[in-house]
Structure 1
Amino acid sequence: MTKLFTTLFALAVSLATAAAHSQDIQGDVKAGASKNAMCIGCHGIKGYQASFPEVYKVPMISGQSAKYLTAALHAYKKGERKHPTMRGIADSLNDQDIADLSAYYSVHGVAEGAAPADRTVKQPSAAVTALLNKANCASCHGADFSKPIDPSYPKLGGQHADYLFVALKAYKVENNPKVGRNNAIMAGMAKQYSNAELKLLANYLASVDGDLKVVPQSKFR
């Protein structure tokens, strides 16, 4: 029993150390610009749609938080987010690659020295307000849905509605090898809603001005 405990303890320490190490790695924007060949074929085309496992516009990632992008890529790599294509791409990246790409996309399309946008949040309908309040969405993602309280949480304002709907639904899925997201907090939130309600939320969030954008690539390489 002591030997088993020692082994498990050593494994836990090893995993914790690895996780801490991956979070401590500093991303390099210039390095990320040279590593994005696998990204631009989907995320660098306006209106580009994924066709598997569902049809929806791929998410806008330019202007997204670096820490969120890092967390998302690691989740795909670990299988916590089930998407065959993204799992394959994430598996091909080491921790430094992920940090570099995340740093690059966090400033991609952002004018150097530009002041933060001064936005007025579009007021939701009474029905959408009730849905937002039900899970207190703004408490994590910010009152304007572009300034989350933790940079590892995504900016949502202006993101594609069909992507947001698919992403929110994914937190409700269980025991599916190709679809689903394992996040206890978001699963608890998403399961409070019907799919019709999630679509209303997604449509509203997409209508809010935000930092996210698609920056078309001048060439593919």
Structure 2
Amino acid sequence: MVLGAQAQDVTGDPAAGQRKAAMCIGCHGIPNYRASFPEVHQVPMISGQGAKYIAAALNGYRSGERRHPTMRGVAGSLTDQDIADLSAYYASHPPAASTAAAAAPSEQVAELLKRGNCMSCHGENLNKPIDGSYPKLAGQHADYLFVALKAYQGGNGRNTGRGNAIMAGMAKPYNAAELKAMADHIAALPGDLRTVTQGRFR
């Protein structure tokens, strides 16, 4: 999603974002926490994600481009400043510590990734996006990636699906088994994403 000029001009404050994150940590601050809509899956790790991408995602939920009732409700209550602060806060978390090398994909998965031209946007090892508004994918939960990719193929109602035309074009040619194979591989790659737990919930 392309942010409006006003939203792009807002500078985020990580400290302010930490104070505003109470509505986020009930899901994103609990390791392995699972959502049940539109199917059971782990909520995405957002600590270590780029601020520009987090802002783009929140704006997508706020505008309805990303259709998800819980996130629409949360994002709909946020101002541009709130979004900038929350994005800065989660982007400020140090990346996950990992010394593992990226595993080579199977021949099948390599062909699927090549067909989708995934690295042209999401970068080396799918962890260095060429633009800040694109997400880091490496190490993200496989079941979330699978649900997200299916959402780009279109939803069955007003509360499901994502409206990004580029990702829709990339995702639609794949069947469910192919999406799952890609999601499983991407989840196994070392990356920056992690879940930062909050002291009040420990």
* TM-score tier (shorter): over 0.9
Which of the residues 158, 169, 191 maps onto 2:139?
Answer: 158
Match of 1:77 in 2: 62
Match of 2:106 in 1: 125
Greater C-alpha radius of gyration: 1
Q: TM-score, normalised by structure 1?
A: 0.86
Quickly say closer, same or farther: Cα 1:99–1:37, change in 2 above 3 A: same
May I ask how many residue pairs the two structures share in their alignment?
Answer: 200
User: C-alpha separation between the residues in 2 aligned to 1:126 and 1:110?
Assistant: 29
> Where does structure 2 lack aligned partners over 5 or more consecutive residues?
none
1:96 and 2:96 aligned: no
Is this contact kept in 1: 2:123–2:130, CA < 8 A?
A: yes
User: C-alpha separation between the residues in 2 aligned to 1:55 and 1:26?
Assistant: 35
Quickly say closer, same or farther: Cα 1:149–1:135, change in 2 above 3 A: same
Match of 2:44 in 1: 59
Is this contact kept in 2: 1:159–1:206, CA < 8 A?
A: yes
Runs (4 or more) in structure 1 with deviation over 6 Å come to: 116-119
Identity rate of aligned residues, in percent?
61
Is this contact kept in 2: 1:32–1:100, CA < 8 A?
A: yes
CA deviations over 1:121-178 (Å, ceiling 9, x no partner): 2210000000000011011101211100001000000000000000000011146211
Quickly say closer, same or farther: Cα 1:110–1:129, change in 2 above 3 A: closer
Match of 1:13 in 2: none
Structure 1 residue matching 2:199: 3-state secondary structure: coil
Is this contact kept in 2: 1:63–1:109, CA < 8 A?
A: yes
User: C-alpha separation between the residues in 1 aligned to 2:95 and 2:86?
Assistant: 15
> Where does structure 1 lack aligned partners over 5 or more consecutive residues?
1-15
User: C-alpha separation between the residues in 2 aligned to 1:158 and 1:134?
Assistant: 21
* Cα offset, 1:117, TM superposition: 7.2
Report the more deviating stretch, 59-68 or 137-146.
137-146
User: C-alpha separation between the residues in 1 aligned to 2:37 and 2:165?
Assistant: 24
Match of 1:48 in 2: 33
Is this contact kept in 2: 1:109–1:215, CA < 8 A?
A: no
Give the AA of the match of 1:71. A
